[in-house]
Amino acid sequence: MTQPLTLVVLSAGLESFREIRAALAEDGRGRLLAGGDDAEQVYEQLLHLKPSAAIITLGANAEPTLKLIERISVECPKTSVISAARDASPDLILRSMRAGAREFLRLPINSDELKTVLDRTTEFSAVQTEEPRKKGRMIAVFSSKGGCGTSFVATNIAAAMNQPTVLVDLNLQAGDLPLFLGVEAKYSIADLVENRARLDDTLLKSYITPHSSKLALMAAPREADAADEIEPEHVFEALEKLREHFEYVVLDPQHTFDAITLAALDQADDIVLVLTLDIPAIRSAQRALEIFDRLGYQRRKVRIVVNRWSKQIDLDLRQVEKFLGEPVVGFIQSDYQPVVTSINLGQPLVESEPSSRIAIEIKRIVSTIVGNKIAVNEDTTQRRRIWDSFFRRGASQSSVDFSTTLGKV
Ligand SMILES: Nc1ncnc2c1ncn2[C@@H]1O[C@H](COP(=O)(O)OP(=O)(O)O)[C@@H](O)[C@H]1O
Ligand SMILES: [Mg+2]
């Protein structure tokens, strides 16, 4: 239901005030809250009453009143200013519009004109009072090379969130995230896309597979054929819908720069770029960063995370960061046994082993991205040791000279 229109009026003298008041009463829609011919007083009333509209009359000396319209537009952006004048010259109309008036009303008031102006003002006011649409934060976990552990990292990032989150499998031809979450998905993103025209909350929820009270999965289609029908704009629409229902939308896209992946990366607020510390993966990450630059992504949208890190890797981290031109914000240890077990059991490690090094590091990465307090029970000594070993290695003679190695590939 639309809210009743409330008005404050600045007139040019008592006669003009009576005229406007009578016209409003005749139309019957507006509720006149206050008014008068003292500009400062009317301005104070506006600040206090925050009406949906203000009728501001321009007299012979229009300049100070135009300045007042400017102030109202800045201070009360939800109040629609209707300028009114006996002089309806194009010049005055233009100047009042430039000052911030949304409508112009000729005096003496013609009831048809007033009706049109109030119709438009009611529309504007309805939009102003609408609750802004909720928009969850979208985080794409991406690697342009397969096998770096992107799905594992995406699943655990999603499971580490402490607010309602949906994990979206964008590997449309061969998604495997139901396994990572230990669920069986009856429906997929293909159903959401197919029924997008009649989508309501209940239908949307029915297409999502719950994993826990705060984590759900939007699965990829089980049949590859269904994926062929899905266009990038469908995915965009589906993700926007999911955003309205979840605080976080975590994406696991394909490892290529296809149209759907690009659309999803574009739409995401953050990209976690996952790599392993081997030359092909570093190269691939560097190419991905170049593509992000060409796409105009701000570098702060991208966070680089190393997965499957181990002490045995003999690469100088500082050279890697220099090569990528970006710092690495997280290091997830390589620990085959618990990772494989967690995947085989369909239980994210942050849930099944929350105090493991990998879980702690993933939760720390999540809190650096979303900036809120995920319960990170961090063993700081342990972390310091990891960093120390990097920097000692940076200075060591035995480490691989990264720039020459890269030169060879
Ligand atoms: N931190 C890690 N330590 C050990 N093994 C890992 C780690 N992360 C991922 N893996 C293994 O790497 C393999 C590929 O992981 P996956 O998440 O499917 O990669 P992607 O989605 O990038 O292709 C899995 O078998 C997983 O067990
Ligand atoms: Mg994967």
Is residue 120 located within the same domain as residue 142? no
Give CA–CA dist 33/13, Å, rounded.
18
Q: Which of 90, 112, 129 is at the close of a domain?
A: 129
Q: The domain spanning residue 378 has which CATH number?
A: 3.40.50.300
CB distance 149 to ligand 1 below 6 Å: yes
Domain of residue 360, residue span: 137-408
Residue 130 has a pLDDT of 66
- With a 6 A CB cut-off, is 148 part of the ligand 1 pocket? yes
Residue 391 burial (CB count, 10 A): 12
**Among 173, 339, 358, residue to substitute to test ligand 1 (most atoms within 8 Å of Cβ):** 339
Secondary structure (3-state) at 165: strand
If you take atom 9 of ligand 1, which residue's CA is the nearest one? 149
> CB–CB of 159/215 below 8 Å?
yes
CA angle 228, 231, 236 (to 5 degrees): 135
153 and 104: one domain? no
404 lines ligand 1 (CB under 6 A): no
Domain-terminating residue out of 87, 108, 129 = 129
Q: In this structure, are 187 and 124 located in the same domain? A: no
Let me know whether 248 and 337 are in one domain.
Answer: yes
Ligand 2 centroid from CA 254, angstroms:
7
Cα-to-centroid distance, 30 and ligand 1 (Å): 64
Q: What is the pLDDT of residue 387?
A: 44
Here the CATH number for the domain that contains residue 103 is 3.40.50.2300
The reply to whether ligand 1 has any atom less than 6 angstroms from the CB of 332 is yes
Looking at the fold, whether 122 and 89 belong to one and the same domain comes out as yes
Give me the number of domains the chain comprises: 2
pLDDT 10s digit of each residue in the chain, 409 long? 456 799 999 999 888 899 999 999 999 888 899 999 999 999 999 998 999 999 999 998 999 999 999 999 999 989 999 999 999 999 999 999 999 999 999 999 999 999 999 999 998 888 876 666 678 999 999 999 999 999 999 999 999 999 999 999 999 988 999 999 999 999 999 999 888 888 888 888 999 999 999 999 999 998 878 788 888 888 998 999 899 999 999 999 999 999 999 999 999 999 999 999 999 999 999 999 999 999 899 888 999 999 999 877 777 788 889 999 999 999 999 999 999 999 999 999 999 999 999 999 999 999 999 885 444 444 444 444 444 444 444 434 444 555 555 544 3
User: What pTM was estimated for this model as a whole?
Assistant: 0.67
